[in-house]
Amino acid sequence: MKSVLIVLLFLLFNCGKKQTEKKTLNQSVSISKDDMPIRETKQKIDILKILLDEEIGNEKPEKVDYENYSVSFRNNGDSYSVSFLKIASEDLNKDGIEDYIIERNSEGMLGGNANTNSEISYIIMGKDDHIQDKHRILTYAPFSYNILDNIAYKNGVLKATATQNYRTYSIPEEELESADLSFIYKDGNVYEETYLSNCELAKWKNKKVLKNASESFRTIDMHNYTEVLNEKFNAEDFECTVELSGCDNLDLIVEGNFITSDLSQKNIDSKRKQFLNFLFQNTSLAEDFKIVQSYYLSNPVSEELVTKGKLSFNIFTNKEKGKINFRLVLNKDNNQNQAENWEITTRKK
């Protein structure tokens, strides 16, 4: 009897041990993910799908191909298709989030169709798969200034060859000029490297026109690859926007919008003076704007181009219900050899 009890106790012990081992093993499998050190395994986003969906928007496409990232539209009989290709994906601005360089191609029914064009976009990503910035370089359009080909990306540099567009430059094909370009992402913007080395405006560090801008954004000119600065100032009944670009010559477009119900000529003249005085007092180009202000205070206002020394400018006025708009276009000519897009592209001296 005693021996039987010993055997029973032995069997119960072993059985319990096996069940405990089995339970422990199962627990180790189920909790292994929580016990292991956490590693970032976030799946990469499909940026081409995001751009394709953005292209489609609220339109009703004829066909969508998510495998090859293309879409076609009927467009009221003037059909065209758009496709996307990834050139590179890397952390361009060193914030720990992957960014992208993308080629977009649009093909219309005819080679000269307005829907036939292509461009390269530097897409800077923010948090939560949000597109933070886009910097666009036009590679082809029917009447673009330049056509870019031989495009290649390596070691952080995008290389391309720019050739004058034969449709824009009415010269024999054998006389069309070409130039090698190289683009880099640096300090929050895309630069063509000869802009940094050969353009006077590149020496203007921390470009700023408005002293108290509420918004500011820098990008690249898609035609001549200079830096473009966009700024905005907002007040209760006044808004001012600035666009500055150029290589050696300064090109500036400033718009002022006044919210007002008084559209009389007297009030228009008053608001124009207020606009010009704002530019003189609240910008880094006070010396240039003082010349503009002085001219319009002592001369009849028209839309005719005015030249004063290196400055040329004109001001346009528009009124509509509840708003008066002024648009000042100003150029500072420091290099007469950069009067045309190709001369700016090649940084001609």
Per residue in 144-197, pLDDT (tens digit) is 999 999 999 999 999 999 999 999 998 999 999 999 999 999 999 999 999 999
Q: What is the pLDDT of residue 114?
A: 85
pLDDT tens digits, 22-38? 333 233 233 233 333 33
Which of 198, 254, 253, 187 lies closest to 226 in space, CA to CA?
198
CA-CA distances (angstroms) from residue 335 to 191, 243, 297?
Answer: 21, 20, 29
Q: Is the pLDDT of residue 219 over 90?
A: yes
Measured CA to CA, the distance from residue 226 to residue 136 in angstroms comes to: 12
Q: Which residue has the tokens 């953005």?
A: 54
pLDDT tens digits, 249-289? 999 999 999 999 999 999 999 999 999 999 999 999 999 99
The dihedrals phi and psi of 341, each to the nearest 5 degrees, come to -55, -45
Please give the model's pTM, rounded to 2 decimal places.
Answer: 0.85
Measured CA to CA, the distance from residue 1 to residue 17 in angstroms comes to: 25
SS3 content of the chain, % helix, strand, coil (to 5): 30, 40, 35
Q: What is the pLDDT of residue 44?
A: 80
Q: What is the pLDDT of residue 6?
A: 40
Which three-class secondary structure state does DSSP give residue 3?
helix
Q: Which amino acid is at 9?
A: L
Q: Is the pLDDT of residue 140 over 80?
A: yes
> 41 or 94, which is more confident?
94
Q: What is the pLDDT of residue 19?
A: 39
Determine the average pLDDT of the residues in 236-244: 98
Measured CA to CA, the distance from residue 66 to residue 289 in angstroms comes to: 52
Q: What is the pLDDT of residue 40?
A: 41
Torsion of CA 18, 23, 29, 30, to 10 degrees: 170
CA angle 187, 192, 198 (to 5 degrees): 100
